[in-house]
Chains A and B, each alone.
Chain A
Amino acid sequence: MQADPVERLGDLFDTHQPRLYRLARRLSRDPEEARDLVQETFLRAARRPASIPESAKGAEAWLVRILVNLCRDRWRRLKVRREAHHQPVWSMGNTADPESVASARSAVQRALNRLRPRTRAIVVMHEIEGQSKAEIAEFLGMSEVTVRWHVATGRSKLRKELSHGG
């Protein structure tokens, strides 16, 4: 570990903030909530600088776990479960159409909001960020079987939310 925790945490912030913000944005409802999540993640790291793993990958996984746990805590605290508005969402043939893209974003956001935080994080990391199930298992400190279960559950719910036409 570096002698100066300020310098080390500064390096961690510069290195991992962009990725953490993207993940937070995919796990939250709006940009403001994503910024809060990222800041709270690093504030927790600042309160326990000696707990941050030495290796770069270990530190990144540690920060991601904190972020996911913060999402889960927030979700439990607020008990936010947005009512589903089963709207028509997407047309495969109109992906270049700005209106269709905006509609898809809105639908995806709503569908993601229906997932539980951990399932949501795993689906996002696998389907959007492209991480393998083994990598996700290592990142989040869980078994690969559990990750597969979350992926399957998340896909099923998303499919139901996104496919349900009105």
Chain B
Amino acid sequence: MAADRKNLSDDELRKLLNLGDPAGYGDEPAPEELNAMRRTVLNSIDTSPAAQPWFSRSLTTAMATVAVALIAISILLQAGPWGEVLQPATGPVTPAEPAPPTTQEPPPSQTVAAVEEVPDVVVTEPSPDSAAELPAAAEESVVAEEPPALAAMEESQGLAAPSEGRQPRTVQFTAPGGTRIIWTLDPDFQLPVSEPDSQARGEL
């Protein structure tokens, strides 16, 4: 045995490795052993969904999550308190056209003035002679009835008619696009007890 080598060259090292190659022992598995191994492997093939590619599983999971989220959002929008708040927005936001003049004398509680030069926000204080303080032009274009959308809103919310003693306040303002918005604040407004934000809407 030569034990005196201090440094093997690359070629010598390669020769030595090939000479002592562990795979050259002739100890390969017997055919019967290979067949048994093959059967074991093939019998353990996983065809469950977990064996599918990761992107396939992820896509299925993502689609299911999105579907559940959409259902939850739709349920919340229908059952939540904000659903009722948003509801009137489809009605009263209409271009403000000058109401046709009418000869009918409007009751003070339902007076809404259409003013040519409307400031951004006008708050009309309830007073017995508020109609008298309106400009003459406004008096000619007094709307006798509430806007249908407001009436529908009140009807849908079950609003009580304003009492005789307390008159409603009216807030008028013009949106940047020129839409005139008129709010009638009913002091006797009451929401059903079951509404969670009745206090907030009651202030309107």
Given contacts A31-B25, A105-B20, A158-B13, contact A13 B3 (CB under 8 A): no
**A137 part of interface (Cβ distance < 8 Å):** no
* Per-residue interface assignment for chain A, residues 134 to 163, with 1 indicating a CB less than 8 Å from any chain B CB and 0 otherwise: 000000000000000000000100110011
Q: Which residue of the partner chain A has the closest CB to B53?
A: A50
Does A66 count as interface, using CB distance less than 8 angstroms?
no
Q: Kindly report which residue of chain B lies nearest to residue A155, judged by CB atoms.
A: B13
B51–A50 CB distance below 8 A = yes
Contacts A88-B2, A104-B16, A105-B22; A31 near B8 (Cβ below 8 A): no
Interface of chain B residues 8 through 66 with chain A (CB within 8 A): 8, 10, 12-25, 27-29, 33-34, 37-38, 40-42, 44-47, 51-53, 56
Contact partners of B6 in chain A: CB under 8 A: 163, 165
CB distance B22 to A109 under 8 Å? yes
How long is the Cα–Cα vector from A112 to B18 in the complex, in angstroms?
Answer: 12
A13 touches B41 (CB 8 A): yes
CB-contact partner of A42 in B3, B25, B41, under 8 A? B41
How many residues on chain B are close to A (CB under 8 Å)?
A: 41
Min Cβ gap B74→A in Å is: 35
Q: Tell me whether B203 is interfacial, beta carbon within 8 Å.
A: no
Residue A43 lies at the interface, judged by CB distance under 8 Å to chain B: yes
Q: Quick one: given A26-B22, A38-B37, are A88 and B47 in contact (CB under 8 Å)?
A: no
Query: Bound complex: CA of A128 vs CA of B13, how far in Å?
Result: 10
Q: Closest CB of chain A to B133's CB: distance in Å?
A: 82
Interface contact A49-B20, CB-CB below 8 Å = no
CB–CB A128/B18 < 8 A: yes
Q: How large is the interface on A (under 10, 10 to 19, 20 to 34, 35 or more residues)?
A: 35 or more
B21 partner residues in chain A, CB cutoff 8 A:
26, 105, 108, 128
Give chain A nearest CB distance to B107 CB in angstroms.
Answer: 77
Residue of B nearest to A7 (CB): B42
Complex CA distance for A127 and B8, rounded to whole angstroms: 14
Q: Please tell me if B1 contacts chain A, counting CB pairs below 8 Å.
A: yes
Give A10 to B13 CA distance when docked, in angstroms. 38
Pair B3/A165 contact, Cβ less than 8 Å: yes
- Interfacial chain B residues near A104, Cβ < 8 Å: 16, 19-20
Give the chain A neighbours of B33 by CB distance below 8 A.
35
Whether B45 pairs with A46 at a CB distance below 8 angstroms is yes
A128's contact among B1, B17, B29, by CB below 8 Å, is which?
A: B17
6 A–B contacts from the bound complex (CB under 8 Å):
A5-B47, A18-B28, A46-B42, A107-B16, A127-B17, A165-B3
Closest 8 pairs (CB-CB, A-B): A88-B3, A108-B20, A165-B3, A88-B1, A104-B20, A105-B20, A22-B23, A91-B2
User: Which A positions have Cβ atoms within 8 angstroms of B?
Assistant: 5-6, 9-10, 13-14, 17-18, 21-23, 25-26, 28, 31, 35, 38-39, 42-43, 45-51, 87-92, 95, 100-101, 103-109, 112, 123, 127-128, 155, 158-159, 162-163, 165-166
